[in-house]
Amino acid sequence: SQQGEEDPQALSIQEGENATMNCSYKTSINNLQWYRQNSGRGLVHLILIRSNEREKHSGRLRVTLDTSKKSSSLLITASRAADTASYFCATDADQGAQKLVFGQGTRLTINP
């Protein structure tokens, strides 16, 4: 079963605006990761945040993690048309395991 819940399921914004996506999970984790998927292709890793971290940045991406609320957010700043994709959070299914449990995903559309 899917551990993660993401919201919103779909998000449409104008180019240049910021996009925020949220993810919640149910069990203890070692880390949480965010992935991007373009047009039903393979997933591309964006960023990993460990359970003892609260915030992490990578370029235009900012990820937060609140382990007390079992939630994470992904912020994409100054969005571009090329950011149009589906975004998934993923957690390690069992602490220490390599297999991942994915959230339902957010489909992001950037309008030019």
Partner 1 sequence: SAVISQKPSRDICQRGTSLTIQCQVDSQVTMMFWYRQQPGQSLTLIATANQGSEATYESGFVIDKFPISRPNLTFSTLTVSNMSPEDSSIYLCSVSGIMNTEAFFGQGTRLTVV
Residue matched to tokens 């047009």: 39
Tokens (6 digits) for 20: 């925020």
Contact between 100 and partner 1 by CB under 8 A: the answer reads yes
Which one among 14, 41, 59, 112 touches partner 1, defined by CB under 8 A?
A: 41
What's the DSSP call for residue 60? T
How many whole angstroms separate alpha carbon 111 and alpha carbon 10? 13
Contact between 99 and partner 1 by CB under 8 A: the answer reads yes
CB of 25 to partner 1, least distance (A): 13
Residue matched to tokens 């975004």: 87
Give the interface with partner 1 as residue ranges (CB under 8 A): 1-2, 30-31, 33, 40-45, 48, 50, 88, 90, 93, 96, 98-105
